[in-house]
Structure 1
Amino acid sequence: MSPRLSTRVVGFALLLAGCQDEAFDAQSQVGPDPVLPEPQQYLLPPMRIARAVGWSGEATPSVPEGFRVKAFATGLAHPRQVSVLPNGDVLVVEANGPNVEPVRRPKDLIMGWVKAFAGAGAKGGNRITLLRDADGDGTPEVRSVLLEHVNSPFGVALVGQDLYVAATDALLRFPYREGDTKITEPGIKVTDLPGGPIDHHWTKALAASPDGTKLYVGVGSNSNITEHGLEAERGRAEIWEIDRATGAHRTFASGLRNPTGLDFEPQSGRLWAIVNERDEIGPNLVPDYLTSVREGAYYGWPYSYWGQHVDPRVQPPQPDLVASAVKPDYALSSHVAPLGLAFSRTDRLGADFRGGAFVGEHGSWDRQEFNGYKVVYVPFADGRPSGKARDVVTGFLDRENRARGRPVGVAVDPRGVLLVADDLGNTVWRVTPAGP
């Protein structure tokens, strides 16, 4: 299809979908008790694209008064996640999906075009780049490709001298020594992960337990709402627990449609996750969320959402399973697409930013009023969310609502630096207190 024709088709689709949105306070869905309107059914879901334009000149995101932001690294190839090693080196995971999902419905084709206009089709590096800023001045002295030719990597975790990488179809282990700038030894497969031939949610989030004995992998569903059949969902919409010593895995929690970020809350030591919820039942359903992850718990997908709210699209119903569904802890609002999670373990960003969770919200495509496109901070007290999320890094949309960037992974280093991966701007941003 020619670019001109595809533009017209997308425009027509957006016109149809745009008739179905109405005024709604997206902030009413932030917190432990979100407003949940009645579900709606559509020929096409509400869609509006923030056309990708990238950053120009000296433009940067916006941060609150008392902070400053600058580019830490540019010219990356679709950076998705950032991780800080104990010696201060920063790992940047550059990747995009394997693009193996079949297109079976006309609306799948239209939604694919819409996402491509928003920059979703950018080529990823399928590699991990190391950045070293030894003097802390915000300009890396070393930039090196640490690992390459990895199949759509996403999560990364260092335990001792083992670097674990969650590719889309396998958890891999690589030898690492402090100070390494390149790893040439082949990786060892710890365990297979659900991949193709359909790989709808390809990202695999990764976190290591505080004692280093277990690894946790977020495995997203293979569909929006089981349109590829339940058999395609085997082992998916789950968080896996993997024994480091043996590679054996088990389901730690289930019913989480797409758990894209995992981290351990520093005070309680409990595992938390961010989750991308389902689409196509309204611009204001279903809220994406941040939640503690209870061992053995079921979180609703696909049969229900936000506890026992039944999704009638999935047949046959499973009332007993729905009755057991756990309500998440904290809503982030609908379709914000959280893709990065990091707890702050330092007060060097300020006392107001210690102990809580930074969340990178990639931004909506399937509602008329844009939602997300920012990094927020959820304050915590006594191991639980304790107030409204605060905007920390904004300005990814320009005044014409075009996308200059889209935040993904976030990380906080011990020096009080917040790092934000921007997969549209191909940049890692560095946020610090402004200082005297």
Structure 2
Amino acid sequence: MKIKRLLNKPLLLFTLATGAAIPLAQAQTTPPAATVTVKIDVPESMRAAPFNVDRFATVPKDFSLEVYARVSGVRFMAVAPNGDLFASVPGESDNKIKLIRANENGTVQDFDYATGLQHPHDIVFHQIGDIQYMYVAEKNQISRFVYKEGETRAGAREVIISNLPDESLPELKGNYGHVLKNIAIDSNHKIYVSIASTCNACEADTKSDPKRGAIYQYNADGSNRRLFAEGIRNAEGLAFLPGTNELWVVGNNRDWIPYPHNDNTGRYGQVLQAYVDNNPPEIFTKVRDGGNYGWPFCNPDGSQGMNNMPYNKDYDTNKDGEVDCDEMDRATKGIAAHSAPLGLIFTQGTQMPQLYRNGAIVALHGSWNRDKKTGYKVIYYPWNSQTQTPGDHIDLVGGFLNSDSTVAYARPVDVAVGTDGSLFISDDATKSIYRLTYSGPVASAKNDELERALTIYPVPAEGDLKIALNGLKSKEVRITMTNAQSANVVDETRAISSGENNLLVDTSKLANGVYFLSIFSDGARVVRRVVVRNK
């Protein structure tokens, strides 16, 4: 199985009011979503752009988010059995696996664990007998290293699968849009390799050898290749449902899709932004041995909902219906079109906080060809233990996309859960790895006190913003307002009494728009979104 675990740091677990842990036997529990805006904690040594100014995110109550490491080109991650974090860097010049290790004093060290690779991407730890291996998916091959706990430099590399397709193929003429490979390994030591498409929608990939837009199965030593499933344009995240050999993937579907319905609207065959924006959905699905999931001939139709979606014929490749879309395997779940789901993990058997310990987490890299951007967040699917299927997702980490969905400062790639229950999130836009940590009700008591004491009005603010604080024990508060460019336009410290306090913040000279208002008091911090609308 794929080990996605993290570093040791004591973590509290969600409990009921009685203190009893919530049982996993229930059919499905939907935990709290990301509704609280927090300032991302950034160590001073990591405050290069874009963290040279304050940045904010949304997380569930009682969670915090920090920048754990800065790694240029970071993509997929995995955690070794001893808790060390590894990350792939498939850059034009780097092409390495980085080891990132926390020191006892809280600082972080990184090492070039393996170098000279061919665009390394996915990483999987897997034990066969007494030997612990690290498997690495490179663009044209699958390699493995014998892993020794605590080492900072890899030993000899063994290439077990070679000659995977890349841009060097003569017919591709140097172009391969999705050349990076992803892998998973089941309990029978079978390797599953995602060979993604070279194109947006093309029949040639279905006739190549090996097929592209497909998943192949191999023995753990690279022998006995066979086609496992096809019709999946770009399966990035591959993972097995814990306790089973059921393969699940998230997949990226095509772009610039023509309107597929030959109706009386006059739009048939046209590429219309209004239709492209929401079609076709991306997918999160269980993959059947021998299955075909439609691409490039059939596209899922989410117009009636995102569960078990039917297919529409692709206008470019299947206008006449030569391929029967009714015969295709339907995806389990749809995800908003162009969200670009990449990393996928399951949380069963991890030390995630209890309410998040029975589901799947997906990193959405974000859209590039949608009129209003979507994605740019991490989502959680609660799992139905009776049907063994995902429920409706909630946002787990968001706020990277601005309020009018036009600009995002971060792009999540992959996620990894650790032995401490915290969550790492890689981000190739900010060249960072974040750590999401649950602080628990003890740590949040001061925040709750500040929340109860705080009233802000009017919203929108016009001239002055009024802040009422009632019953705080601290003697002063710090007030900041941060604009859309993450610059602090207000930063004031005010003395307060233990009774009622009514503070005015002059907003008359601020530009109209959305701001983050932060109130700091005695180690607590509350962040609110406020609107300034001056005449």
TM tier relative to shorter chain: 0.7 to 0.9
Cα offset for 1:230? 5.5
Q: Please give the alpha-carbon distance, in whole angstroms, between the structure 2 residues aligned to 1:353 and 1:270.
A: 21
Alignment of 1:48-87 (within 5 A): 54-74=50-70, 76-87=71-82
Shift of 1:192: 2.6
The answer on whether the counterparts of 2:350 and 2:417 sit within 8 Å (CA) in structure 1 is no
- Does structure 2 conserve the Cα–Cα contact (< 8 Å) formed by 1:54 and 1:403? no
Is 1:323 the equivalent of 2:326? yes
Q: Identity rate of aligned residues, in percent?
A: 31
**Which one scores higher on RCO, CA 8 angstroms, separation ≥ 6?**
1
Structure 1 gap segments, 5+ residues each: 1-52, 97-122
Partner residue, 2:437: 432
Task: Give, in whole Å, the separation in 1 of the partners of 2:244 and 2:207.
Answer: 36
Paired residue type of 2:342: L
> C-alpha displacement at 1:349, in angstroms?
3.0
Picking from 401, 419, 426, the partner of 2:424 is 419
Q: From the superposition, tell whether residues 134 and 215 of structure 1 become closer, same or farther in structure 2 (CA, over 3 Å).
A: farther
**How far apart are residue 316 of structure 1 and its match?**
7.6
Q: Which amino acid aligns with 1:356?
A: G
Instruction: Within 5 Å, give how 1:29-428 maps onto structure 2.
Output: 54-74=50-70, 76-96=71-91, 125-133=94-102, 139-140=107-108, 142-160=109-127, 161-197=132-168, 198-211=175-188, 213-226=189-202, 231=207, 234-281=210-257, 282-306=276-300, 307-315=310-318, 319-346=322-349, 348-382=351-385, 384-399=388-403, 401-428=406-433
The SS at the match of 2:315 is coil
Q: More deviation in 257-266 or 315-324? A: 315-324
- Say if 1:318 and 1:184 are closer, same or farther in 2 by CA, change over 3 A: farther
Which one-letter code corresponds to 1:54 in the other structure?
P
* Deviation for aligned residue 1:275: 0.3
Inter-partner Cα distance in structure 2 for 1:377 and 1:159: 25
The 1:171/1:318 distance shift into structure 2, 3 A limit, reads: farther
Structure 2 counterpart of 1:239, which letter? I
Corresponding residue of 2:262: none
Aligned residues: 354
Structure 1 residues 305 and 138: alpha-carbon distance in aligned structure 2, compared to 1, 3 A threshold: farther
Q: CA offsets, 1:193-219, max 9 Å, x none?
A: 2212332211211111134x1111111
In the TM superposition, residue 56 of structure 1 has moved relative to its aligned partner by 3.1
> Which amino acid counterpart does residue 331 of structure 1 have in structure 2?
G
Tell me which residue corresponds to 1:105. Answer: none
Match in the other structure for 1:22: none
3-state SS, counterpart of residue 323 of structure 1? helix
> Could you tell me whether the CA contact under 8 Å between 1:174 and 1:188 is conserved in 2?
no
Q: Is the 8 A contact 2:340 2:365 kept in 1?
A: yes
Q: Which amino acid aligns with 1:355?
A: N
Asked if the contact 1:128/1:146 (under 8 Å) is kept, the reply is yes
Aligned equivalents of 2:187, 2:53: Cα separation in 1: 42
Which residue is 2:26 aligned to?
none
What is the deviation of 1:131?
A: 1.4
Partner letter of residue 308 of structure 1?
Y
Deviation per residue, 1:140-198 (Å, 9 max, x gap): 3x321111121111111122232211111111122221222111424424233221233
Q: Deviations over 1:264-315 (max 9, x none)?
A: 1115441100000111121110100100011000000011022432112105
Distance in 2 between the 1:238 and 1:228 partners?
13
Report the Cα offset of residue 234 of structure 1. 4.7
CA drift at 1:70: 0.7
Whole-angstrom CA distance in 1 between matches of 2:347 and 2:231: 27
When Rg is computed on C-alpha atoms for both structures, the one with the higher figure is: 2
TM-score by length of 2: 0.62
RMSD: 2.3
Q: Distance in 2 between matches of 1:133 and 1:183?
A: 19
User: Which stretch of structure 1 is more off in the superposition, 151-160 or 225-234?
Assistant: 225-234
Indicate the SS of the match to 2:416.
strand
- Residues in 2 aligned to 1:386 and 1:228: alpha-carbon distance in whole angstroms: 34
Distance in 2 between the 1:239 and 1:58 partners?
42
Give the CA deviation at 1:375.
0.3
* Unmatched runs of 5 consecutive residues or more in structure 2: 1-48, 169-174, 258-275, 301-309, 443-535
Q: Is the 8 A contact 1:87 1:178 kept in 2?
A: yes
More strand by share: 2
Task: Please tell me the residue identity of whatever aligns with 2:282.
Answer: D
Instruction: Tell me how far apart the structure 1 counterparts of residues 116 and 133 of structure 2 sit (CA, whole Å).
Output: 18
